[in-house]
Amino acid sequence: MTDDLPADPAGLPGTFRPQVFTAPRARPVAVVTQIAGAEGMSLMNGAERFAGGVWERHCPAEDQAPPGVKRQLWPERSR
């Protein structure tokens, strides 16, 4: 598993925390978390661009992007 610090891969305009889970003979899976209202592009709006950045940075040898799970956290009482 790769548990990266908040990232801005490939110069994308947003900050989030990617975790990449790996296992022998299995595709990696990426879990990406962002706090709602964080600087830059939101995770929901930039999901495809962020996924490409995670793939490029953490799984460049893979033929396909890792399946991803996106989680946007809302601060308490913000909704």
User: Structural domain tally of the chain?
Assistant: 1
Q: Please give the pLDDT value at position 57.
A: 84
Q: Please give the pLDDT value at position 47.
A: 77
Q: Please give the pLDDT value at position 37.
A: 75
Q: Please give the pLDDT value at position 79.
A: 57
21 within a domain of the structure (yes/no): yes
Torsion over CA: 46, 51, 54, 57 (sign) = negative
31 within a domain of the structure (yes/no): yes
Q: Please give the pLDDT value at position 31.
A: 84
- Kindly give the pairing relationship between strand 26-35 and strand 68-73: parallel
Q: Give the domain extent around 65.
A: 2-73
9 within a domain of the structure (yes/no): yes
pTM of this prediction exceeds 0.75? no
64 within a domain of the structure (yes/no): yes
| pLDDT by 10-residue block (mean), the chain, 79 residues | 52 74 88 78 78 83 81 70
79 within a domain of the structure (yes/no): no
78 within a domain of the structure (yes/no): no
